[in-house]
Amino acid sequence: MKKIITLVSAIAILGACAEKNSTNTITTSALSSEEKKDSTHIKQFFNTALTEGKSYEWLRDLTQNIGGRLSGSPEAAKAVVWGEQLMKNVGLDSVWLQPVMVPHWVRGEKEQAYYTINNQQKQVPICALGFSIATPENGITGEVVEVKSLDEAKKMGDQLSGKIVFFNGAFDETLINTFQAYGGCVGQRFSGARVCGELGAKAVIVRSMTNGINDYPHTGTMSYGDLPEDKQIPAAAISSRAAENLSNDLKANPNLQFYFKQSCKTLPDAPSHNVIGEIKGTENPEKIIVVGGHLDSWDLGEGAHDDGTGVVQSLEVAYLLKKNNIKPKNTIRVVFFMNEENGTRGAKEYAKQAKLNNEIHVAGLESDAGGHTPRGFSIDANKNNTELVKSWKKLLAPYGLHDLIKGGSGADISPLKNNEVTLVGYRPDSQRYFDYHHTVTDTFDKVNKRELELGSASMASLVYLMDKYLYTDDKVKP
Amino acid sequence: MKKIITLVSAIAILGACAEKNSTNTITTSALSSEEKKDSTHIKQFFNTALTEGKSYEWLRDLTQNIGGRLSGSPEAAKAVVWGEQLMKNVGLDSVWLQPVMVPHWVRGEKEQAYYTINNQQKQVPICALGFSIATPENGITGEVVEVKSLDEAKKMGDQLSGKIVFFNGAFDETLINTFQAYGGCVGQRFSGARVCGELGAKAVIVRSMTNGINDYPHTGTMSYGDLPEDKQIPAAAISSRAAENLSNDLKANPNLQFYFKQSCKTLPDAPSHNVIGEIKGTENPEKIIVVGGHLDSWDLGEGAHDDGTGVVQSLEVAYLLKKNNIKPKNTIRVVFFMNEENGTRGAKEYAKQAKLNNEIHVAGLESDAGGHTPRGFSIDANKNNTELVKSWKKLLAPYGLHDLIKGGSGADISPLKNNEVTLVGYRPDSQRYFDYHHTVTDTFDKVNKRELELGSASMASLVYLMDKYLYTDDKVKP
């Protein structure tokens, strides 16, 4: 009896393991013989990434030994040297630096903010927005007017004169894709100071672009547009929890005085580089498939998910092709773009030089949505090529890549857009991305090794398929 | 000119946001009018979970105020009281405790392990396996024999006599679903001491069941089977990094002496409870859909992903139904099962009582694979009902639930299995699960609020569909 009971227990426990095992099996029965070959190569990319992948250690080096690397900073310059050396180490056929002048904004001293309510001084986690001007040396004090959107601010007009305008539009948490929620709010951050400066406001403070409630101010770029200098006003982000608290405190005391101080400034443009390396194509070396992420990052945090992961994944695509002896027909070019965060000057320079040199880009793939678990790709291409990419779903779905959909690609490759080029954005799961985005918590420890490697292999698989199938079949030529 | 440049920059930056926005849109054009109604309800479950969800705060309370709660422990008893009160707070129609006797194993003092090589003592992170006996009070010292599997140990036979057997089979990292890798290794942990005790070994130490290399020993249950007491030997897990190091050190010094000490023991069975609550069905109150997770956890860590998340998600299913005024036709019963980790006594008692009371279970849903981002459901049902559940993919895929596949459900509901009942396991993304599983890092801070809530809403959606469509159409009756 004891034996039977123990056996039953053992079966129950081992059964429980087995029962959890049933997803993600790769079935090849519905594939053509050519697709079976593709399936085998794709499996090899995943196997290699998960057992001999380099991206995680590359990322550790970039984030922990260099760290945050805002355009124009010494860290960004170090990252260029690091990237060039790494591409050479991977054994790309050629590696070079493409010069580009970049904006050079510096944060200065750590920002301060507080207000007093019920005789208690409340400290507010705050950070300047990129391109903002400083406050006067002694800071700014003023009454606060809360609004939820740019439209609401515009409607208030002159009532904002002399006030600190507090943009408190929160993410729409019901949107499953958090990038949509970001898209619905980021206008406040980008244009709040331009709109309110025009209306004579004293400054703007913006609720951080993040899901939920946390204690970190999230920076990001803003613009004064064509606002004359005398109307430009300081702009900063406060944490979402501070925004909630301030909103409540304003209900109790609409006249409370908010104080903040920041010493950021924009210096003259600085020289920098895109880092470029390539594997020469065996059949059509003049045709280029570009794969990239951006090397610069915000100064807060270590630029891990934004976009250290995209950088190391892009290079790992080349590593995985080489390691598996894939000789691409077209040239596979890896680009570490400079200055995506505040100017996209690297992207513009890359596209400009491509045009000047009559380069033929057949495709581009960008990873700039974090290093989380794979979900799919977003395709910006003509109808035939969009359908072609979608047709690879049966090969990619076993790896969690179900979302092959029409959409944008990414800020760094989209300047290459025309009717002949197939541009694709890598789309990992978005749930955790805005926990870290542009803030001090975007650090190496937030990146899971397997999720990162699965992303590299996903990207390598797509590049392999694009190299093999784009422009080889009359039906899918643009 | 400046204006144009600034405008272009603004468009590029905002465009970059919009371009990341294109996944997970919910399209309803291909749905029937009834399916559109379903789609609306499902959207409501997600909206409610993401904006008024309770699961995250419930989980904080369970994990941080009670903590790890191994069967028979004071913490497990507290968790029962907590669960009963919480179900009442949610306003379930009835709530009760179902008595069950559970195993009562205690870890005792913190375990110690080390060995000496090159005159240096190396400390080894170690923990006893559940149900293991203690070492003698002064510990065990012995030579180490490394094997990679149970089969290899069996083949070595008498050579293991008097040795400490070191099971060093590692996860197969190429398996995309990490539960498959776990399934391939866990036999070493579960049966290593039984097999080696029979062969006269002195003890077993087992590489932790985890992906990659980390510093935490992962506990878990083991069994001596019908091994007589005098052949039972102590069993412990060591961290994967320690396993790698030990393996290397054994190559240099095959005779090194390994020492470890643990004082765990199994006490007499203890009284405990399953916690049960239900919403009475309006049409078929006698027909039951059970949804559950397990309330007990290992003593290391806080039992967050295993299985605090499953517990709070299961109750949130009922909360979401009530909050959205869904009156289920069948009875929806929430069960917090006791003792999944070492005995599944709660599950067995629940199934036994269901049979004794002639209860009709039409379906079951279990969440015991972590609180990560949704991927799908695994279906254990007859052919018709399996196809029926699969047919809901168009309603579920917009929420990332693409994997609707035949497979097992879970250890706690599988004792209910028969040809009439549709059993389903919730399957979130598996990449990070074994980083935390059964170790000190399985804590509240590892759970992302949105991922947890998306899981609750996924489960509520499935329960809603099962309630509406199972057993209503002649074609899908078993």
Condensed to tens digits (0 to 9), the pLDDT of residues A169-188 reads 999 999 999 999 999 999 99
- What is the rounded distance in angstroms from the CA atom of residue A379 to the CA atom of residue A414? 11
Which chain B residues are within 8 Å of A174, Cβ to Cβ?
46-47, 50-51
Q: How far apart are CA A113 and CA A167, in angstroms?
A: 16
Neighbouring residues of B312: CB distance < 8 A, sequence distance ≥ 6: B54, B55, B56, B58, B59, B62, B293, B452, B456
Q: What pLDDT, on a 0 to 100 scale, did the predictor assign at position A8?
A: 37
User: Which chain A residues are closer than 8 Å to B417 by Cβ?
Assistant: none
Q: Do A226 and B449 touch (CB under 8 A)?
A: no
Look at residue A267 in the predicted model and tell me its pLDDT. 98
CATH for A33-102+268-476, among 3.40.630.10, 3.40.50.300, 3.20.20.10, 3.40.50.1950?
3.40.630.10
CB within 8 Å of chain A, chain B residues 395-414: 397-400, 402-403, 405-411, 414
> Residue B443 in contact with residue B435, Cβ under 8 Å?
no
Query: Cβ–Cβ of B226/A22 closer than 8 Å?
Result: no
Contact A176 B399 (CB under 8 A): yes
Over residues A87-104, mean pLDDT: 98
Q: For residue A374, which residues of chain B lie inside 8 Å, CB to CB?
A: none
- Given a cut of 50, the residues of chain B with pLDDT beneath it are 1-25, 473-478
pLDDT, tens only, B280-303? 999 999 999 999 999 999 999 999
Interface test with B, best of A21, A306, A324, A365 (most B CBs within 10 A): A21
- A81 touching B (Cβ < 8 Å): no
Put simply, the answer to whether B174 touches A50 (Cβ < 8 Å) is yes
Would the CB atoms of A431 and B373 count as touching at under 8 Å? Answer: yes
What pLDDT is attached to residue A23?
Answer: 40
pLDDT for B29 equals: 63
Burial of A364 (0-12, 13-18, 19+ CB in 10 A): buried
Q: Is A11 on the interface with B (CB under 8 A)?
A: no
CATH 3.50.30.30 range(s) for chain B read 108-263
pLDDT of residue A446: 98
Contacting B residues, span 272-331, partner chain A, CB-CB under 8 Å:
none
Cα of A58 to nearest chain B Cα, Å: 17
- Gap between the Cα atoms of A39 and A45, Å rounded: 10
Residue B11, burial from CB neighbour count under 10 angstroms (0-12, 13-18, 19+) = exposed
Residues in chain B closer than 8 A to A403 (CB atoms): 23-24
* pLDDT score recorded for residue B26: 52
Residues of chain A with CATH 3.40.630.10: 33-102+268-476
Kind of pairing, strands A284-294 and A203-207?
Answer: unpaired
DSSP state of B286: E
Closest CA to A272 of A335, A222, A366, A345: A345
Task: Please judge whether B177 and A425 are an interchain contact, meaning their C-beta atoms are less than 8 angstroms apart.
Answer: no
Any CB–CB contact under 8 A between A467 and chain B?
Answer: no
Please answer yes or no on whether A425 and B7 come within 8 Å at the CB atom.
Answer: no
Measured between CA atoms, the residue of chain A closest to residue B451 is A431
- A176 with B451: Cβ contact below 8 A: no
Q: What integer is the mean pLDDT of A3-14?
A: 39
For residue A425, list chain B residues with Cβ-Cβ distance below 8 A: 19-20
Is A149 part of the contact surface with chain B (CB cutoff 8 Å)? no
For position B173, what pLDDT does the model report?
98
Burial environment of residue B432 by CB neighbours within 10 A (0 to 12, 13 to 18, 19 or more): buried
What is the Cα–Cα distance from A425 to A366, expressed in whole angstroms? Answer: 5
Using CB atoms, which residue from A46, A432, A450 is nearest to B211?
A450
Tokens 């935490």: give the residue: B216
Q: Strand, helix or coil at B44?
A: helix
Show residues of chain B in contact with A380, CB under 8 Å. 19
- The whole-angstrom distance between B147's CA and the closest CA on chain A is 21
Shortest CA distance from B402: residue in chain A = A402
Judge whether residue A451 has pLDDT over 80.
yes
- Calculate the dihedral angle through the C-alpha atoms of B3, B6, B7, B12, rounding to the nearest 10 degrees: 160
Residues of A with Cβ-Cβ distance to B369 under 8 angstroms: 20
CB A421 within 8 A of CB A62: no
Q: Which CATH number fits domain A108-263: 3.30.930.10, 3.50.30.30, 3.40.50.10470, 3.90.550.10?
A: 3.50.30.30
**Number of CB pairs < 8 Å for A and B?**
247
Hey, is the C-beta of A135 within 8 angstroms of any chain B C-beta? no
- What's the 3-state SS for chain A? CHHHHHHHHHHHHHHHHHHCCCCCCCCCCCCCHHHHHHHHHHHHHHHHHHHHCCHHHHHHHHHHHHCCCCCCCHHHHHHHHHHHHHHHHHCCCEEEEEEEEEEEEECCCCCEEEEEECCEEEECCEEECECCCCCCCCCEEEEEEEECCHHHHHHHHHHHCCCEEEECCCCCCCCCCHHHHHHHHHHHHHHHHHHHHHCCCCEEEEECCCCCCCCCCCCCECCCCCCCHHHCCCEEEECHHHHHHHHHHHHHCCCCEEEEECCCEEEEEEEEEEEEEEECCCCEEEEEEEEEEECCCCCCCCCHHHHHHHHHHHHHHHHHHHHCCCCCCEEEEEEEECCCCCCCHHHHHHHHHHHHCCCEEEEEEECCCCCCCEEEEEEECCHHHHHHHHCCHHHHHHHCCCEEEECCCCCCCHHHCCCCCEEEEEEECCCCHHHHCCCCCCCHHHCCHHHHHHHHHHHHHHHHHHHHHCCCCHHHCC
pTM: 0.94
Q: How far apart are CA A381 and CA A397, in angstroms?
A: 21
CA distance B156 to B172: 23
As annotated, the residues of chain B forming the CATH 3.40.630.10 domain(s) are: 33-104+268-476
- Per CB-CB distance under 8 Å, the chain B contacts of A2 are 226
How far does Cα A11 stand from its chain's mean position? 46
User: Would an 8 Å CB–CB cutoff place B432 in contact with chain A?
Assistant: yes
Q: Measured on CA atoms in the order A195, A198, A199, A205, is the torsion positive or negative?
A: positive
The answer to whether residue A110 scores a pLDDT higher than 90 is yes
Between B18, B183, B451, which is nearest A17 by CB?
B183
Cross-chain residue pair A21–B183, CB shorter than 8 Å? yes
Which residues of chain A does B2 touch, with a Cβ-Cβ cutoff of 8 Å?
226
In CATH, the architecture of B33-104+268-476 is 3-Layer(aba) Sandwich (3.40)
For residue B407, list chain A residues with Cβ-Cβ distance below 8 A: 19, 21-23
Q: Give A-chain residues touching B226 at CB under 8 angstroms.
A: 2-3, 6
Average pLDDT, chain A: 93
What lies within 8 Å, CB to CB, of A339 at 6+ separation is A71, A100, A102, A103, A272, A294, A296, A345, A346, A347
Task: Answer for the pair B21, A179: CB distance below 8 angstroms, yes or no.
Answer: yes
How high is the pLDDT of residue A30? 81
Contacts of A229 (CB under 8 A, 6+ apart): none
Alpha helices in B126-177 (DSSP H): 150-156
Beta bridge partners of B235: B204
pLDDT digits (tens, 9 = 90+) for A111-128: 999 999 999 999 999 999
Residues of A in contact with B186 (CB under 8 A): 14, 17
Mean pLDDT (whole number) for A344-362? 97
Shortest distance, CA A458 to any CA of chain B (angstroms)? 12
Amino acid A99: pLDDT: 98
pLDDT of residue B478: 44
pLDDT at A24: 43
Backbone angles phi, psi at B126, to 5 degrees: -145, 150
pLDDT band of A9, cuts 50, 70, 90: very low
Which tokens go with A293? 């992420």
Kindly identify which residue of chain A lies nearest to residue B45, measuring between CA atoms: A174
pLDDT tens digits for range B140-164 = 999 999 999 999 999 999 999 999 9
Percent of chain A predicted with pLDDT > 70 = 92
Range from A8-17, A274-283, B215-224, B393-402 carrying the lowest mean pLDDT: A8-17
Q: Which residue has the higher pLDDT, A12 or A273?
A: A273
Interface with A, mutate which of B1, B7, B20 (most A CBs under 10 A): B20
Extract the tokens encoding A423.
């541009």
Residues of B in contact with A22 (CB under 8 A): 177, 378, 405-408
Q: What mean pLDDT is predicted for residues A84-110? A: 98
- pLDDT at position B188 is 98
CB contact, 8 Å: B266 with chain A?
Answer: no
Which residues of chain A make contact with B365, given a CB cutoff of 8 A?
none
**Which residues, 6 or more positions from A108, have their beta carbon under 8 angstroms from its beta carbon?**
A128, A134, A262, A263, A264, A265
The predicted-structure confidence for A406-449, as pLDDT tens digits, reads as follows 999 999 999 999 999 999 999 999 999 999 999 999 999 999 99
Closest-CA residue in chain A for B408? Answer: A19
Instruction: State whether B343 and A9 contact (CB < 8 Å).
Output: yes
User: CB distance A431–B408 less than 8 Å?
Assistant: no
Q: Is the pLDDT of residue A12 over 50?
A: no
Put simply, the answer to whether A177 touches B23 (Cβ < 8 Å) is: yes
Contacts of A407 in chain B (CB under 8 A): 19, 21-23
Scan for tokens 């003023």, then name that residue: A142
Facing residue for B378 by CB, picked from A22, A178, A400: A22
How far CA B246 is from CA of A13, B96, B140, B218, B297, in Å, comes to: 29, 50, 17, 17, 29
For chain A positions 168-187, those within 8 Å of chain B (CB to CB) are 173-174, 176-180, 182-183, 186-187
Positive or negative, the CA dihedral B88, B93, B98, B102 is: negative
Interface of B with A in 49-78 (CB under 8 A): 50-51
State both tokens at B333.
Answer: 């019963």
Best of B21, B221, B224 to substitute, by most chain A Cβ atoms within 10 angstroms, is: B21
* Minimal Cβ distance to A211: which of B6, B211, B450: B450
